[in-house]
């Protein structure tokens, strides 16, 4: 006996197969998210890959082994420690202070302007020294040169005051 497939049976089988295919697609998508989801995000993975590629491009192409090259003499250079020369007030002013105290940059009192310095001097010379050593307002401590000694900074303050009277 011959069995003819009717349209209703065809649609029923087609619907079942379609549901199974869609279900498998969803299941595969969920599995791929679970196994690939250990990274924080796709953009983070991309950034890590870009950084890795950049580091690889800028890495040195070779390493020089100087110890194995007989034409290069290895010498030990002994640095001599010499006593630091103490700068005078004028030298400190010319190398550190001049840039702001000649032009009045950022509100710095100008050398030679007796009015600006007399107001500050009225608070006492020790206050001027402390402000120069520790910094005040925009002016950094020791004018931004931390290697200066306190005495060098004080001599620079004395130089500026002598030029402002």
CA 51 to CA 58: how far, in whole Å?
Answer: 11
69 lies in a domain?
no
63 lies in a domain?
no
- Residue 78's pLDDT band, with cuts at 50, 70 and 90, is very low
Note down the domain range covering 151.
Answer: 89-164
pLDDT value at residue 80 = 42
67 lies in a domain?
no
Q: Is the domain of 44 the same as that of 106? A: no
pLDDT value at residue 81 = 42
**Region 134-162: what's the mean pLDDT?**
83
pLDDT at 17 over 70: yes
Any idea what the CATH number is for the domain that residue 147 is in? Answer: 1.10.760.10
36 lies in a domain?
yes
| Non-local CB neighbours of 89 within 8 Å, separated by 6+ positions | 152, 155, 156, 157, 158, 159, 160
142 lies in a domain?
yes
78 lies in a domain?
no
Q: Is the domain of 49 the same as that of 95? A: no
Of the two residues 13 and 107, the one the predictor is more confident about is 13
pLDDT at 84 over 70: no
80 lies in a domain?
no
**Region 109-121: what's the mean pLDDT?**
80
Burial of 142 (0-12, 13-18, 19+ CB in 10 A): buried
What is the number of structural domains in the chain? Answer: 2
pLDDT at 85 over 50: yes
């Amino acid at each position: 006996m011959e069995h003819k497939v009717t349209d209703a049976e065809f649609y029923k089988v087609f619907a079942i197969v379609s549901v199974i295919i869609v279900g498998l697609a969803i299941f595969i998508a969920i599995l791929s998210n679970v196994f690939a989801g250990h990274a924080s995000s796709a953009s983070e993975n991309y950034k890590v890959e870009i950084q890795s590629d950049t580091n690889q491009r800028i890495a040195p192409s070779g390493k020089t082994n100087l110890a194995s090259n007989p034409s290069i003499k290895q010498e030990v250079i002994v640095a001599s420690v010499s006593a630091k020369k103490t700068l005078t007030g004028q030298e400190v002013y010319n190398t550190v202070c001049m840039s702001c105290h000649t032009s009045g940059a950022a509100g710095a009192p100008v050398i030679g302007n007796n009015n600006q310095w007399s107001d500050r001097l009225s608070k006492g010379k020790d206050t001027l020294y402390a402000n120069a050593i520790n910094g005040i307002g925009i002016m950094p401590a020791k004018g931004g040169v931390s290697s200066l000694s306190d005495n060098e900074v004080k001599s620079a303050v004395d130089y500026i005051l002598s030029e402002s009277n």
